[in-house]
Amino acid sequence: MFKWFGKVNYTPYTKVSDFAQHLRDGRLMGSRCSRCGATSFPPRADCEECLSGDFEFFEVSGRAKLHTFTKIVAAPTGFEDVAPYLVGVVDLEEGGRALAWFGDSIAEDEVEIGMDLQVVPRIFEESEEIKVYYSLEPPGTTWSKT
């Protein structure tokens, strides 16, 4: 059900579709190659290292450090209603990176490259259909359904 992922979803069909289901249930998942063990976040079905197509999901901690960020003021279609919004790229503790919004729990003037953050699974509060994403929150923040 990858169509659940993102405020606007451009890729409803993918081999890592279960990622969104896990996210709805409060788990942030990376992929691990069943043959060579190489891991990836975001997850990928086909191993970049050994080319195997067999993989399994594994849960990542979501502990991360801020690599860079921006506040987007001029928003594209589908995001006008939430602009301006803060977007960050984080380095995950287990390797890999994630790009996500900052949650309301962090004020703009507190944001600093290198700060510790937690990537937290989220469900859009106001949306009738299921819409999931993840956000950047203070360390220790646990999953909340909204």
Partner 1 sequence: MKRVGIIGIGHGVFGRRSDATVQELAFEAFRDALDDAGIERDLIDASVIGSVPEYHKQRSLAGVVQEYLGLVPKPTWLTEVACASGSAAMRTGWMAIRAGLHQVVAIIGCQKMTELSTAEILALMGRVGEVQWESGFGTTFPGYYAMFAKRHMHEYGTTREQLLEVAVKNHFYGAKNPYALFRKEISAEKAMASEEVATPFQVYDCCANADGAACVILAGEDQAKEISDKPVWLDGVAAATASMSVLRRPHLVGLPSAEQAATEAYAMAGIEPTDVKVAQVHDCFTVAEIMAYEDLGFCGKGEGGPFVTDRQTYIGGQVAVNVDGGLKAKGHPIGATGVSMTYEIAKQLRGEAGERQVPDADVGLTHNVGGIGQYCFVQVLKRD
Point out which residues pair with 117 in neighbouring strands: 64
**Is 17 one of the binding residues for partner 1 (CB under 8 A)?**
no
| Residue closer to partner 1 (CB basis): 112 or 128 | 112
Stretch that binds partner 1, among 21-29, 30-38, 57-65, 66-74 (CB under 8 A): 66-74
Closest contact distance (angstroms) between CB of 63 and partner 1 is 17
Q: What's the DSSP call for residue 5? A: B
Indicate the burial class of 45 (C-beta count within 10 angstroms; 0-12, 13-18, 19 or more): middle
Q: Which amino acid is at 16?
A: V
**Is 51 one of the binding residues for partner 1 (CB under 8 A)?**
no
Indicate the burial class of 128 (C-beta count within 10 angstroms; 0-12, 13-18, 19 or more): exposed
* Interface pick for partner 1 out of 47, 55, 69, 106 (rule CB under 8 A): 69
* Interface pick for partner 1 out of 70, 105, 127, 144 (rule CB under 8 A): 70
| Residue closer to partner 1 (CB basis): 8 or 107 | 8
Question: Any idea which residue has 């659940």 for tokens?
Answer: 4
Question: Could you give the CA distance from residue 43 to residue 16 in angstroms, rounded to a whole number?
Answer: 7
* Interface pick for partner 1 out of 59, 97, 139, 142 (rule CB under 8 A): 97
CA proximity to 8, closest of 101, 97, 90: 101
Point out which residues pair with 137 in neighbouring strands: 118
**Is 52 one of the binding residues for partner 1 (CB under 8 A)?**
no
**Is 115 one of the binding residues for partner 1 (CB under 8 A)?**
no
> Which residues bind to partner 1, rule: CB under 8 A?
5-11, 14, 42, 67-79, 82-85, 87, 89, 96-101, 113-114, 133
